[in-house]
Amino acid sequence: MNKKLSPATICVQGGWQPKNGDPRILPIFQSTTFKYDTTEQMARLFDLEESGYFYTRLQNPTNDAVASKIAALEGGVGAMLTSSGQAANFYAVFNICEAGDHFISSSAIYGGTFNLFGVTLRKLGIECTFVDPDMSEEELSKVFRPNTKLLFGETIANPGMNVLDIEKFARVAHSHGVPLIVDNTFATPVNCRPLEWGADIVTHSTTKYMDGHATSVGGVLVDGGKFDWNAHSDKFPGLTTPDASYHGLTYTENFGNAAYLTKATAQLMRDFGSIQSPFNAFLVNLGLETLHLRMQRHCENAQKVAEYLQGHPKVAWVRYCGLKGDKYYELGEKYLKNGSCGVLSFGVKGTREDAARLMDNFKFIAIVTHVADVRTCVLHPASHTHRQLSDEQLVEAGVAPDLIRLSVGIEDVDDIIADLDQALAAL
C-alpha cells in the first residue's frame, strides 16, 4: 500500500488488495490450515525460509490483511493481530524482556495493563517501575537501570485522560538505548501516529474505536521498524543472537527491520497462541473502514459535552484535553491536532455515592464496562475496572475515587446532552 495515502483513504482502501476475479470484500479465511503439495515446501515454511500460510495460529490471510491496514495507518513496517489488547501489551513487553529484566511504564495507563505490568509480569521475574508521566526528563532518566529494556506509555491514558509527551518519552528512552512502546488505543492512528513522534512500537486494543461497534475483543502490535536492536545487542539478545527454537536463526540478521515483529509472531504467538479469530478480524476491518468518520464525530460530540459539563453547577471538574485550561490542552494541541477521542472524565460535587447515583439516572446512556464504541456509555472506575487497586494506587493511576468516565458516542449530541441534563437535574 502506498504510504503517502492519507489515513482516511487507508481506512477504506488499505489492507486487502484483490486481484482479478477475487472477492472485492476481504474474505474470512475461516480455516485452521493451508494445503501444500510437497513436504519440502511445508518444511521451508516451518523453518521461516519462505513466507506463506500453514497454520492460523501463526498467520492467516484475513488477519494479515487487517494487520497490514493498521500497519499502514500507523506508518509501521508490519503488524500482528492478537486476541485482545491485553495480549498485545503482554507480547509487546515479553518480546524483549525476560526474567531478571526491568522496564518503566507511565503510571497513567489502563487498569488491566497496570495489573499485568505490576503483578503478573512480576511473577515471571520482570519488574516494572511506574512513573508519573509528567516528570522531567532528568527525573525520568534516574529511574533507568542497566537492565531496563523499554519505556511504556499511553497516548491518551484510560481513564485518566493524560496526554503523553511522546517526544519527551522517546528522547529519554533512546538516550538509554531502549525502545518506546506506546498504547495508542484512545487516539487511534486517525488522530495520532506515535511512530512519527519517535515511538518504536505501537499497541492497540482494537476492541475500542477500531472495531468501534463493540462486537469483538482484539488487539494489535505494530512494529515501527526503526529501532536499531544491533546497536544495543547486549540488551536484546533475543533479537540479536541465534534462536535455538529455529535452528539458530537470528531475527535481526534474517529479518532486518522486521526483526521485532517476526520474533513476536514466530516465537511468542507460536508458543502462547493468543491469535485473533479471522471472523473478529473481519469485523475489525469493517470498523476500520469508517474509523476516520467516526473519530471526527466522537471528537465533535465529546467537545460539546465537555463544554456543557464544565458549565454545569453540579459538576466539580471535567478532564478533556480539548478544553482550554485543561492540564493537557497544550500537549493535545501538539499531538492531537485533529481531536483527541470521545472519552472524557468528570466528577460531580458531593460524595462517591452521588457519583454512583448519577449513573443510575441516565435514560439511554448505559452503564457498561466498555468505552469507545458508537453508543454513549459511562463507567465509575473506582467501583468497576479499577476496583482491584488500593486508594493509593488509584491516585497513582490518575483515577480519582469520584471519577466518572463518559464515552461519548456518535448519536445526536443534543440528545446526549439532554440525557446528561435530566440525570444531573434529578441528583
Ligand X SMILES: *Cc1c(COP(=O)(O)O)cnc(C)c1O
Please, which residue, 63 or 86, has the CB nearer to ligand X? Answer: 86
Q: Is 281 in the site for ligand X (CB under 6 A)?
A: no
Q: Given candidates 154, 200, 223, 373, which one binds ligand X under the rule CB under 6 A?
A: 154
Per CB under 6 A, the segment of 81-89, 96-104, 127-135, 413-421 that binds ligand X is 81-89
406, amino acid identity = L
Q: Is 15 in the site for ligand X (CB under 6 A)?
A: no
**Nearest approach, Cβ of 110 to ligand X (angstroms)?**
4
| Pairing assessment for the beta strands 404-407 and 148-154 based on DSSP bridges | unpaired
CA dihedral 380, 386, 387, 389 (to 10 degrees): -140
Q: Given candidates 14, 75, 78, 85, which one binds ligand X under the rule CB under 6 A?
A: 85
Structure letter (DSSP) for residue 245 = G
**Nearest approach, Cβ of 49 to ligand X (angstroms)?**
34
Alpha carbon distance 107, 109 (integer Å):
6
**Nearest approach, Cβ of 314 to ligand X (angstroms)?**
28
**Nearest approach, Cβ of 99 to ligand X (angstroms)?**
24
* CB neighbours of residue 41 within 10 Å: 12
CA dihedral 315, 414, 187, 397 (to 10 degrees): 20
Please, which residue, 259 or 269, has the CB nearer to ligand X? Answer: 269
Alpha carbon distance 315, 290 (integer Å):
33
Residue 196-215 contact track with ligand X, rule CB under 6 A, x = bound: ---------x-xx-------
Please, which residue, 321 or 348, has the CB nearer to ligand X? Answer: 321
Q: Shortest Cβ contact with ligand X: which residue? A: 85
Q: Given candidates 29, 90, 110, 346, which one binds ligand X under the rule CB under 6 A?
A: 110
341, amino acid identity = C
Please, which residue, 127 or 154, has the CB nearer to ligand X? Answer: 154
- In the structure grid, which three cell numbers stand for residue 53, read together? 500460510
Please, which residue, 219 or 238, has the CB nearer to ligand X? Answer: 219
Please, which residue, 7 or 219, has the CB nearer to ligand X? Answer: 219
Is residue 159 reached through a cis peptide bond, with omega within 30 degrees of 0 on the bond before it? yes
Alpha carbon distance 285, 37 (integer Å):
32
Structure letter (DSSP) for residue 325 = T
**Nearest approach, Cβ of 355 to ligand X (angstroms)?**
21
Q: Is 86 in the site for ligand X (CB under 6 A)?
A: yes
Q: Given candidates 60, 63, 84, 376, which one binds ligand X under the rule CB under 6 A?
A: 84
**Nearest approach, Cβ of 255 to ligand X (angstroms)?**
27
Q: Given candidates 112, 177, 350, 401, which one binds ligand X under the rule CB under 6 A?
A: 112
Please, which residue, 158 or 252, has the CB nearer to ligand X? Answer: 158
- Interior/surface letters 247-265, b for 16+ CB within 10 angstroms, e for the rest: eebbbbeebebbbbbbbbb
Alpha carbon distance 239, 136 (integer Å):
31
Please, which residue, 315 or 394, has the CB nearer to ligand X? Answer: 394
Please, which residue, 26 or 372, has the CB nearer to ligand X? Answer: 372
Q: Is 385 in the site for ligand X (CB under 6 A)?
A: no
Query: Is the Cβ–Cβ distance between 105 and 115 less than 8 Å?
Result: no
Q: Is 163 in the site for ligand X (CB under 6 A)?
A: no
Alpha carbon distance 283, 66 (integer Å):
10
| Coil, helix or strand at residue 126 | coil
Alpha carbon distance 229, 261 (integer Å):
12
Please, which residue, 14 or 219, has the CB nearer to ligand X? Answer: 219
Crossing angle (nearest 10°) for helices 61-74 and 278-289: 40
Region for 243 from its dihedrals, namely left if φ exceeds 0, alpha if ψ lies in -120 to 50, beta otherwise: beta
* CB neighbours of residue 390 within 10 Å: 9
Could you tell me how many residues of this chain bind ligand X (CB under 6 A)? 16
Binding site for ligand X (CB under 6 A): 84-86, 89, 110, 112-113, 154, 158, 183, 185, 205, 207-208, 217, 219
